[in-house]
Each structure stands twice: as structure tokens, then as C-alpha cells.
Amino acid sequence: MSFFSKLFGKGKTPPGGPFDDSSPPAPSDDDGPFMEYPSDDYDSSLAAMTSAFERLKSGGYGDRWITFAAQGRGHRQESDQCEDVNVRGNTLDLRGQTLDVPALLQFAELQGGKGGQVQVQVEIDPQGMVTLLGATPEQMARFLDAVFQKHFGIRPHEDEDDYAVGAEW
């Protein structure tokens, strides 16, 4: 069992029907986490999530749910906060959350430039599933980073440069 499974427990896979059997099988739990930061592999949590989204896309895993988990300081100085977000392709399961999408896009630097133009189109279905249509892996990572930091309020602990993040099947 990986560090993040021990720390966060196993995330619940959202309902969504059976997976297409033609896609590559997800790595087993014995392979460790799909992505984990802090590690020597990445310079930041954003770089780690960008790499994870790139690997998901290039590996043909776009139809499989994966759980991104973040951990850092919460709203109080001495508090810890852990949050999970399930992701499949360009869809984030944020059911039960009230999102300020313009603020998230601004924080993620996905809105701006001439006339405050939005760089990605965001669709939210009635259940709270958020899809970033045509988003690149970097845009997905920046939006998820905004969800963890701006929406959930996860920040680095006082003695750390960044918050921890991981991704597991």
C-alpha cells in the first residue's frame, strides 16, 4: 500500500457505468501511486499534477477514474487538511461543492489576456461534475491546483514550500 493510500485511505470511484474493456488496464496497487509529490521527480505539486495528466492522456487512461489527493495546512495555522478529487479524462467529480468558477479560472490563470478571455470552456452538469472541454494536461493541472488551493484552502505548512499531492487508481 502506498504512502497516500495509508494517509488518505482509498477514494471511492464515482458512478459512471462500466469501463470500456478496450482501454489499457490500470496499474495495480502493487505498482505504487500513479504520482506522488513531494518526491525527487517533480519541482512542485503543479508540475507533478501536470505530469500525471500528461501520462493519463498519453497512456490512454482517459476513461478511468483516478483520485487526486492533496494534503497541507488548512484554514488554521496548526491544522491539516486533506481533500480528494476524482478525475476521469477532463471531468472532475466535485459533487456537493459550490464552486466560484470565475475565481478558480482567474487563480489558475486560465482567464485573462484581452478582455478577460477564458482559455477553457467549463461545463458543470446538474450533479456537480465539472468538465473542462478541450483542456490540455497543463490546464487541467492548473484548474485542479486552483480547486485545492482556492476552493478547499489547502496551503503549504509553515516549514514547507508546497502542499503534498498524489494520484492513485
The CA-based angle 6-164-119, given to 5 degrees, is 125
Q: Tell me if the pTM is above 0.75.
A: yes
Q: pLDDT confidence of 141, banded at 50, 70, 90?
A: very high
Which H or E element spans position 4? helix 3-8
Least confident of 18-27, 68-77, 127-136: 18-27
Least confident of 80-89, 108-117, 149-158: 108-117
C-alpha cell of residue 64: 478511468
Q: pLDDT confidence of 77, banded at 50, 70, 90?
A: confident
70: pLDDT strictly greater than 60: yes
How far lies 167's CA from each of 34, 83, 164, in Å? Answer: 5, 12, 11
